[in-house]
Amino acid sequence: MVSSSHEAMHHYGQKDTAGLIRNFQRLFHVPFPEPCGFTVVNTDLTEIEPVERRVDSLVRVHTEDGDFLLVLESQGKKDERKRGSWPYYLSYLYEKYRCEPVLVVMTQSSSTARWAAEPIRFGLPGWSSLVVRPMVLGPDQVPVITDEKEAVRDPSLAVLSAITHGRGPGVAAILGPLAVALETIDPASAALLAQLVTSGLVDSQAKEIWRDLMAPVNYFFQNPVADQLRDEGRNEGRIEGRIEDRIEMIVKILELRGLQVPDSVRLRVRACTDLDQLKIWSERAVGVADPGDLFTPDQPE
């Protein structure tokens, strides 16, 4: 099971390589041949026994135009040593596999993304013998997907959006539409992507929201991460009837006031098992101008 936001970043590219390729084609307008297969490659780049070098994830992409190696690196902060190791990785991999390596750096930090995007140049001024240009996916490159239709249209991008923005409080707005989008794809893929999102989130409020959204979804309980979610706060002694009545009251109040209630709001309200929280939301439902304001972060929940 993925255990940290660092692992979630590069594992996303390993587990959903087709989605990653589509996304950097869309975000960077970089042409890439249509993939016809993928192979996860051993990440060990050690040449001499005492010196160990490993990339985070390595995926071989098979296309009609030849094979490519996606070198996936998850970067939490600036590390000047990478400006030496990244060129080494690419040169070594090309020599070993004789196919084009593509360096993809994924980060949840805008400043780290800017640093990583700087070309690495070796050689004379004005005459570089080697130039490395990482393809960087960070908060400034990946859009914030908060629209349900957009999330449903491209669940993979919505997952990348949640993971990339996982350190900021703004990620909370991504999670409702993402939960709706995952219900439109096959359960096995949805369970895997949901697990990656769980690991990629850092903001505590976002973690709580995602836990509430995922708890009642059947496919999620087929995944080992469900045990973790149960341990993090589900209320075993809830009174089902009172909770259901309160949920129906919230939705009914919003509808009677003539408000259009999006699926993401319904899903989050129905996911909640805390009667006190539902009481707060029912009180807010009387006065909010937008159903999404039920969950306004600056109001205590």
DSSP 162-216: HHHTTTSGGGHHHHHHHHHHHTTS-HHHHHHHHHHHHHH--SHHHHHHHHHHHTT
The tens place of each residue's pLDDT in the chain, 301 residues long, gives 444 676 776 777 777 888 878 876 788 787 788 888 878 777 766 654 444 567 888 889 999 889 999 999 999 899 999 999 999 999 999 999 999 999 999 999 999 999 999 999 998 888 899 999 999 999 999 999 999 999 999 999 999 999 999 887 778 889 989 999 998 988 878 888 888 898 888 888 888 888 888 877 654 445 444 444 444 444 444 456 677 778 888 888 887 777 888 888 888 888 887 778 888 888 788 778 888 888 875 444 4
Please enumerate in sequence order all residues whose Cβ is within 8 A of that of 125, keeping only pairs 6 or more positions apart, or say none: none
pTM: 0.65
Structure tokens at 2: 């993925």
Shortest CA distance to 223 belongs to which of 256, 198, 258? 198
For the chain, give the number of residues: 301
> Are the C-beta atoms of 154 and 125 separated by less than 8 Å?
no
Helix (H) or strand (E) holding 285: helix 275-285
- Coil, helix or strand for 229? helix
